[in-house]
């Protein structure tokens, strides 16, 4: 429990990923909330390069980490904060890297008997020998479509819904030319159904699953535009699910949270298929905190106002490199 409101808190946002603008919005909101809660020594820090993290030693006591995407959410920034012995909110470097890797998350879900869509991994080693026809025949059987997405990016960046073999071939050529040197890609069967998300927060070392949210985007799927543009996604909160499915999703979400080793707060996304089964899509170790983000809406539905949510996240800060030592 952080009781000293004189501690120097640095809200780290921005970063160098494709989600930089979203992080800046999240960061400003969290910064304002901390000031309103009486943490008067809070400063807002726009991380524009990795080198900026090495300048924080002695300047802040706690890093309120709200960076998204590559580097900010995949363990890189967390590793540097560990080296500098700076406590921070969110998950450890290892857990962050695991959650960012959608393929590894899927493998851990299978280990935990959590359903996930069938998929194939495309790497720079195998992209020249894979057979698009075979992939299409294997993964498009259910709904006549599939998704192609980066293995380690967020906010639905560079995700494509593919509706034909010809389109799949074209997109594979595109990622081979432009993207495969930077990341692997997942080709995943498209499961028609309802998109839901589950947020988990840590309060006094106890995990609290917030009300499940169903997302009904006006776009074809919950893409970047639908996520961050007001009015493009309808929130059904709490989601209308039968009690047995709701309880299974709650248990599975805690299970994958613990299996990955997440801490502080996180979000787990699913599709509810026509078979009324929940298929895990991914886990997010640093969910967005913008005006249109899922976590704040779910917290409010649970009677936790935005400022209180930010303080709860702050209270979970720890020195991850020292067995999770908490700040007093």
Question: Do 215 and 174 reside in the same domain of the chain?
Answer: no
CATH number at residue 164: 3.30.1490.20
Helices (H) and strands (E) in the chain, counts: 10, 15
Tell me which H or E stretch contains 278: strand 278-284
- Residue 54, judged by CB atoms within 10 A of its CB (0-12, 13-18, 19+), counts as exposed
- 215 lies in a domain? yes
Q: Which residue has the tokens 């249109």?
A: 292
DSSP state of 71: T
Query: What CATH number does residue 264 fall under?
Result: 3.30.470.20
Tokens linked to 121: 């991994």
Same domain, 107 and 155: no
Q: Phi/psi at 326 (nearest 5 deg)? A: -90, 160
Range of the domain at 234: 98-115+193-311
Question: Same domain, yes or no, for 82 and 103?
Answer: no
Kindly state whether residue 201 falls inside one of the protein's structural domains.
Answer: yes
Please give the chain's pLDDT, 328 residues, in tens: 576 899 999 999 998 888 899 999 999 999 999 999 999 999 999 999 999 999 998 999 999 999 998 888 999 999 999 999 999 999 999 999 999 999 999 999 999 999 999 999 999 888 889 999 999 999 998 889 999 988 886 545 578 889 999 999 999 888 887 776 778 899 999 999 999 999 999 998 899 999 999 998 776 655 556 565 666 778 999 999 999 999 999 999 999 999 999 999 999 999 999 999 999 999 999 999 998 899 999 999 999 999 999 999 999 999 887 655 555 4
Q: Residue 205: inside a domain, yes or no?
A: yes
**Same domain? 202 vs 299:** yes
Structure tokens at 284: 């997010």
Q: What is the CA radius of gyration of the chain?
A: 20
Same domain, 148 and 252: no
Does one domain contain both 106 and 250? Answer: yes
Nearest CA among 261, 281, 278 for reference residue 207: 261
70 found inside a domain = yes
Provide the terminal-to-terminal Cα distance of the chain, rounded to the nearest Å.
Answer: 6
In a domain, 326, yes or no: no
Do the domain assignments include residue 261?
yes
Which residues make beta-bridge pairs with 42? 9
Write out the two tokens for 274. Answer: 């026509």
Answer with the one of 142, 160, 189 that is the final residue of a domain: 189
**In 3D, which of 114, 148, 144 has the Cα closest to residue 130?**
148
Same domain for 123 and 111? no
Can you give the CATH number for the domain in which 63 is found? Answer: 3.40.50.20
What is the number of structural domains in the chain?
3
Please state, in angstroms and rounded to a whole number, the distance separating the CA atoms of residues 239 and 272.
Answer: 11
């Amino acid at each position: 429990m952080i009781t000293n409101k004189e501690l120097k808190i640095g809200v780290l946002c921005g970063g160098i990923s494709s989600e930089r603008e979203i992080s800046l919005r999240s960061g400003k909101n969290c910064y304002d909330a901390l000031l309103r809660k009486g943490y008067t020594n809070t400063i807002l820090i726009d991380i524009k390069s990795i080198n900026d993290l090495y300048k924080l030693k002695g300047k802040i006591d706690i890093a309120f980490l709200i960076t998204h995407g590559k580097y900010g959410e995949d363990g890189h920034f967390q590793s540097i904060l560990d080296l500098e012995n700076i406590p921070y909110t969110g998950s450890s470097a290892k857990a962050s890297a695991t959650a960012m890797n959608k393929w590894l998350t899927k493998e851990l879900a299978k280990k935990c008997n959590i359903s996930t869509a069938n998929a194939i991994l495309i790497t720079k080693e195998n992209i020249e020998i894979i057979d698009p026809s075979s992939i299409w025949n294997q993964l498009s059987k259910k709904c006549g479509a599939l998704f192609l997405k980066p293995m380690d990016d967020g906010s639905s960046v560079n995700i494509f819904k593919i509706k034909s073999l010809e389109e799949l071939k074209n997109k594979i050529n595109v990622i081979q030319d432009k993207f495969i040197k930077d990341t692997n890609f997942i080709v995943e069967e498209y499961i028609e159904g309802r998109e839901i998300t589950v947020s988990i927060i840590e309060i006094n070392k106890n995990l609290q699953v917030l009300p499940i949210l169903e997302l009904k985007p006006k776009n074809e799927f919950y893409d970047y535009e639908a996520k961050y543009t007001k009015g493009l996604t309808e929130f059904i909160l709490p989601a209308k699910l039968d009690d047995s499915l709701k309880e299974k999703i709650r248990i599975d979400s805690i299970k994958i949270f613990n299996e990955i080793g997440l801490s502080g707060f996180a979000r787990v996304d699913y599709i509810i298929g026509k078979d009324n089964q929940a298929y895990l899509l991914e886990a997010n170790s640093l969910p967005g905190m913008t005006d249109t983000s899922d976590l704040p809406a779910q917290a409010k539905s649970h009677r936790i106002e935005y400022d209180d949510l930010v303080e709860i996240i702050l209270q979970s800060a720890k020195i991850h490199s020292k067995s999770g030592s908490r700040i007093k």
